[in-house]
Amino acid sequence: MGSKRQFRIWRGDETGGDLKDYTVEVNEGEVVLDVIHRLQATEAPDLACRWNCKAGKCGSCSMEINGKPRLGCMTRMSTFEESETVTVTPLRTFPVIRDLVTDVSFNYEKARETPAFAPPADVAPGDYRMEQVDVERSQEFRKCIECFLCQNVCHVIRDHDENKPAFSGPRYFIRAAELDMHPLDARTDRREYAQSDMGLGFCNITKCCTEVCPEHIKITDNGIIPMKERVVDRRYDPLVWLGNKIFRRGQVPQTSATSGHSSGAVTSGGTHGGAHAHGGGPHVGGVHSHAGGSHDSAAERQAQQGVNWHREVPHPTAPAVDASGKLPLTELTFNKAAAPSPFGDDVTFPLPPEHLNFAHPQQDEPKH
Amino acid sequence: MTETRIERHHYDVVVIGAGGAGLRAAIEARLAGKKTAIISKSLFGKAHTVMAEGGAAAAMGNVNSRDNWQVHFRDTMRGGKFLNNFRMAELHAKEAPQRIWELETYGALFDRTSDGKISQRNFGGHEYPRLAHVGDRTGLELIRTLQQKIVSLQQEDKQEFGSYDARIRVFSETTVTELLLDGDRVAGAFGYYRESGEFVLFEAPAVVLATGGVGRSYKVTSNSWEYTGDGHALALRAGATLINMEFLQFHPTGMVWPPSVKGILVTESVRGDGGVLKNSEGKRFMFDYVPDVFRKQYAETEEEADRWYTDPDNNRRPPELLPRDEVARAINSEVKEGRGTPAGGVYLDIASRKSAEEIRRRLPSMYHQFKELADVDITREPMEVGPTCHYVMGGVEVDPDSGAAYGAVRGLYAAGEVSGGMHGSNRLGGNSLSDLLVFGKRAGGHAATYADQLTTRPAVSVAAVEAAVETALAPLQRDTGESPYQLQQDLQAVMGDLVGIIRREGELEDAMRRLAELRERVAKVSAVGTRRYNPGWHLALDLRNMLVVSECTAMAALERQESRGGHTREDYPAMDPKWRSVNLVCSLDGDAVRLTRKPLPKMRPELIGLFDRAELAKYLTDEELAEFDALTEEANN
Ligand SMILES: Cc1cc2nc3c(=O)[nH]c(=O)nc-3n(C[C@H](O)[C@H](O)[C@H](O)COP(=O)(O)OP(=O)(O)OC[C@H]3O[C@@H](n4cnc5c(N)ncnc54)[C@H](O)[C@@H]3O)c2cc1C
Ligand code: SF4
Ligand code: SF4
Ligand code: FES
């Protein structure tokens, strides 16, 4: 049943190290963590590796297997060719302690900075009433096992230690989203906070985090994008503003952005209900251009064939504005080193064609 | 030893363990204004509690309004075969609902009923749907909620004092190896940082043990590397006592095949939601194993059992929902009689009973886990399951109200799986998570009060610290001994083969002999490498704890000549009322384990009055029954 397999495992500590070769017996039905345990029991008793549950529930055994961030206990050996050498390295984004163990304290610091749940003042314990559909949105994010694979893979900090102080990372964006969508959370500034203090603006929706999440949490689609959209709803959004100028005489479809901020949706009571209708279900006729596709393949295909004002694409991250809706005058009051772009910090010009709601009718048929 | 650097900290309350019990205790101590430390062997939020799936039992009566604390109390006592400390079972049943509701104020999001309350599900041994749950990841919700509550307290402290760590600090990946005493009072705890191997000393007048269980001493177990019985052993060495160590719960349905999922549990809610057990002949065999005590509550035909899922008020429950020891024993007999699967288990089938979509909705993480880990699709094929070491009922003998350890030590508290008494000889599913909250809070609160009352702080003696350093470094300095992994494997073999689910006198005596041999080998264990994150060294240090706790289990199992709950003696297959009123208590006499008998506390009249005479007759001796009759007569007059 068993066969000999080749492994290369990074051994070392913060002063350096290298990949060491091991030949190990592997049995049918085993996972990478089983192999590491076998090594510990035989050739390498001091091989350092975290684990707890061996069932994909605790998020301890995060490592990079053939360069991919994975849980060691959830990576079946049968997914590799018999002849393949399996390379196991520690998470790259965090400092190495020893072998496969890294210093993940960054994440715990960010967790500590994220404002906690604020219980509603006037509801006694035992009197909390919530609908299943309403809690499900937040429950998706509460599935998180804190494996930090998403944090590890995010390019904003993966090779950019300098971004770490200002960027909380996808794990904590969904924590903010979870609280934002919590039916009874008393705080109403979760998204603003994510934007101003957690570095949500750094995220340009590459979706790498979603891809590696072992819990299959839709970090970007269900967490980050709705937060970005709703942050922008209440802010100066240059393209919405531009649209209003052009279609002044009412041809413009009502957008959540235009209807939203002028009528002051920032009041507490209304936001929760409004936010929910907005976040989960289809958007209410929001028309926005650029900054990434809408991830809705039908709308994308249509959009490729001409103007489609109903394609829903994520909003750009507009800069923070003050109470009067103006850009901050000085850099001192702003959270970045330079003045904000009036078009949103994640927008570059010229806009890439796929971020426009117009495409030439004779353009090539899309690949998908 | 003078060159060894030791970091020192001063706290009012030190909580060892960051599972549900530890975190709840720490919250309480901090709320009482005490400077509190939380110590944990793994990272913050990874403790074993994270793995609990099914739910937390609390008689909130949200789904069936007939549920109340008396019914929950009765179920708990029944499940524990009347060996429970009744006062703990009472407090637990009364306080569990408040503890669950409180979690909501910390931000927990349980699944809801249609009227917006916390939903509750059925579970083996509980008369009504009682388990608050979140899909099948209730433990994760519980630990994350408590973790986030601690963060929120730290944020308050940051505002008030300028530092997150001002009043509550988490020391993760830190292992405590020794408790330090000043006379008979706790003075602190000594341990090492796993990451660096550096030593650390916590000076504190009150210590709460919340270190969980002992399952790593067994071959097939659902427990992680953390479960080496550290808290049990620390308590013993500090002069406290352990009770009920012979009672271990073997979860009836751990996966036995394929190997990547061996030991992983299939939650009981699979059975609660309609899953059935079948042997290799395809027979639904549980109907043959309903013990007399349960006949009245369980269905006799498949038809009646199946009706129960939709109409529980007019039908009796399916025998698949018998308490887990009964189910484990039934599976064991089927396998022994040659009707098991090739891997030595039986089939648990939900695929043929529920639609794929419904299975995925009700058991999402179970589905996901087996699909990813083993490529087993539980919506299409049955699972192969068998008994797995899961939970230890025994533990530190405590005062039921305060969680203070009995024995010759003051300032020591215990809560959660490491404490004993609450569950008697067998724990009901879901009673552990609520136990953590109820007694975690109590232990934390009483530890704080104790620390307050002290007029002088106990002092740590230098000699004791030096001895602790020496013990900790010994395996690294020896190169003549055996590998800790080999020793662990041998220990697991002894416990799994000889002190497992079904026990015999001869085998237990054999186990005692082998444990004595192992004790000498463990004393000479050596570890290679340095102090920096060295799992071999860590295991070498854990071994002595595993060993002493295993000795307690083997000794108590040999002593108790009856079968009850999590203790099954083939040579004494029946429950014996005379043994019901006896707790076996372990303590340390020098290095050796000493076993004594101690009578169980007597239930108060209004509590024993909650039971039928016919039911009590199965558990009580004739004298006890006569007493009960006298009581009822008195009440009727
Ligand atoms: C797979 C599985 C499923 C379960 N399902 C359920 C369920 O559905 N319902 C239910 O009620 N119960 C369930 N249980 C039981 C329940 O989860 C445990 O009994 C409970 O979580 C124990 O919690 P605890 O707080 O006592 O300890 P744990 O959560 O185990 O925490 C122990 C802590 O102590 C620390 N520690 C240990 N030794 C040391 C040391 N020497 N120094 C420092 N720190 C130390 C550990 O690091 C850890 O943080 C399940 C258990 C398992 C294994
Ligand atoms: S989507 Fe955003 S958070 Fe996720 S990996 Fe990409 S940049 Fe990072
Ligand atoms: S969101 Fe997913 S990837 Fe990120 S820490 Fe949580 S479980 Fe891991
Ligand atoms: S060991 Fe828990 S997730 Fe892998």
Reported as a single tens digit per residue, the pLDDT across B304-342 is: 999 998 888 899 999 998 877 788 788 878 987 889 988
CATH topology of domain B466-595: Methane Monooxygenase Hydroxylase; Chain G, domain 1 (1.20.58)
* Any atom of ligand 2 within 6 Å of the Cβ of A208: yes
> Which chain B residues have a beta carbon less than 8 Å from that of A117?
106-107, 148, 152
Statement: residue A254 has pLDDT above 50: no
pLDDT of residue A109: 96
Which of ligand 3's atoms lies nearest the C-alpha of A209?
A: 3
Q: Do A34 and B259 touch (CB under 8 A)?
A: yes
Statement: residue A241 has pLDDT above 60: no
Whether the CA torsion B322, B324, B326, B332 is positive or negative: it is positive
Reported as a single tens digit per residue, the pLDDT across B170-187 is: 999 999 999 999 999 999
Which of ligand 3's atoms lies nearest the C-alpha of A151?
A: 4
pLDDT of residue B475: 96
For chain B, what is the mean pLDDT?
A: 92
Q: Which two tokens stand for residue A164?
A: 């770490």
What's the A62 CA to ligand 1 centre distance in angstroms? 21
Task: Answer whether A11 touches B (CB < 8 Å).
Answer: no
A55, A58, A117: residue with CB nearest B148: A117
The residues spanned by each domain of chain B are 250-389, 466-595, 605-636
Statement: residue A339 has pLDDT above 90: no
How far apart CA B256 and CA B276 sit, in angstroms, is: 17
Residue A192 neighbours by CB under 8 Å, 6+ apart: A231, A234, A320
pLDDT of residue B527: 94
Reported as a single tens digit per residue, the pLDDT across A178-227 is: 999 999 999 999 999 999 999 999 999 999 999 999 999 999 999 999 99
pLDDT of residue B61: 95
Going by the DSSP 8-state scheme, the letter that residue B405 receives in this structure is B
Task: Answer whether A338 touches B (CB < 8 Å).
Answer: no
What's the B355 CA to ligand 4 centre distance in angstroms? 29
Question: ipTM of the assembly?
Answer: 0.86
What's the A178 CA to ligand 3 centre distance in angstroms? 13
pLDDT of residue B2: 46
What's the A27 CA to ligand 1 centre distance in angstroms? 30
* Any atom of ligand 1 within 6 Å of the Cβ of B18: yes
pLDDT of residue B235: 98
Reported as a single tens digit per residue, the pLDDT across B354-389 is: 899 988 888 887 888 788 777 788 899 888 888 788
How far apart CA B120 and CA B130 sit, in angstroms, is: 5
Sheet-wide strand order for B168-171:
B168-171, B36-39, B13-16, B206-209, B412-414
pLDDT of residue B39: 98
Statement: residue A367 has pLDDT above 50: no
Q: How far apart are the first and last CA of chain A?
A: 42
Q: Which of B30, B324, B362, B580 is an active site residue? A: B324
pLDDT of residue A328: 52
Which of ligand 1's atoms lies nearest the C-alpha of B54?
A: 8
Q: In chain A, what are the domains?
A: 3-101 (3.10.20.30), 105-258+269-277+316-355 (1.10.1060.10)
Length in residues, chain B? 637
- The pLDDT-based confidence of A302 (bands split at 50, 70, 90) is low
From A97, which residue of chain B is nearest by alpha-carbon distance?
Answer: B195
pLDDT of residue A27: 82
Q: Do A48 and B534 touch (CB under 8 A)?
A: yes
What's the A173 CA to ligand 2 centre distance in angstroms? 10
CB B117 within 8 A of CB B58: no
pLDDT of residue A310: 54
CB B36 within 8 A of CB B17: no
Identify which has the larger pLDDT, A280 or A320. A320
pLDDT of residue A321: 61
Name the residue with the closest Cα to ligand 1, atom 5: B52
Reported as a single tens digit per residue, the pLDDT across B129-169 is: 999 999 889 999 999 999 999 999 999 999 999 999 999 99
Tally Cβ neighbours within 10 Å of residue B480. 6
- The pLDDT-based confidence of B343 (bands split at 50, 70, 90) is confident
Task: Answer whether A122 touches B (CB < 8 Å).
Answer: no
pLDDT of residue A139: 96
What's the gap between Cα B398 and its chain centre?
15
CB B410 within 8 A of CB B186: yes
A28, A45, A130: residue with CB nearest B116: A130
Task: Answer whether A14 touches B (CB < 8 Å).
Answer: no
Q: Average pLDDT of B87-106?
A: 97
Identify which has the larger pLDDT, B614 or B267. B614
CA B613 to chain A, closest CA, distance in angstroms equals: 35
* Any atom of ligand 4 within 6 Å of the Cβ of A50: no
Task: Answer whether A243 touches B (CB < 8 Å).
Answer: no
Q: Average pLDDT of B257-279?
A: 82
pLDDT of residue B309: 86
Nearest residue to B251 via CA among B327, B180, B360:
B327
pLDDT of residue A323: 64
For chain A, what is the mean pLDDT?
A: 77
Statement: residue A325 has pLDDT above 70: no
Q: Which of B85-99, B240-254, B355-369 has the highest mean pLDDT?
A: B85-99
Report the b/e string of A80-108 with b at 16+ CB within 10 A: beeeeebebbbbebbebbbbbbbebebbb
Would the pTM count as exceeding 0.80? yes
Specify the CATH architecture of the domain B250-389.
Alpha-Beta Complex (3.90)
Statement: residue A260 has pLDDT above 70: no
Q: Do A98 and B533 touch (CB under 8 A)?
A: yes
Does residue B317 carry a catalytic annotation? Answer: no
Identify which has the larger pLDDT, B415 or A256. B415
Reported as a single tens digit per residue, the pLDDT across A220-229 is: 999 999 998 8
Task: Answer whether B530 touches A (CB < 8 Å).
Answer: yes
Show which of residues 175-234 on chain B sit within 8 Å of chain A, judged by CB atoms. Answer: 195, 224-226
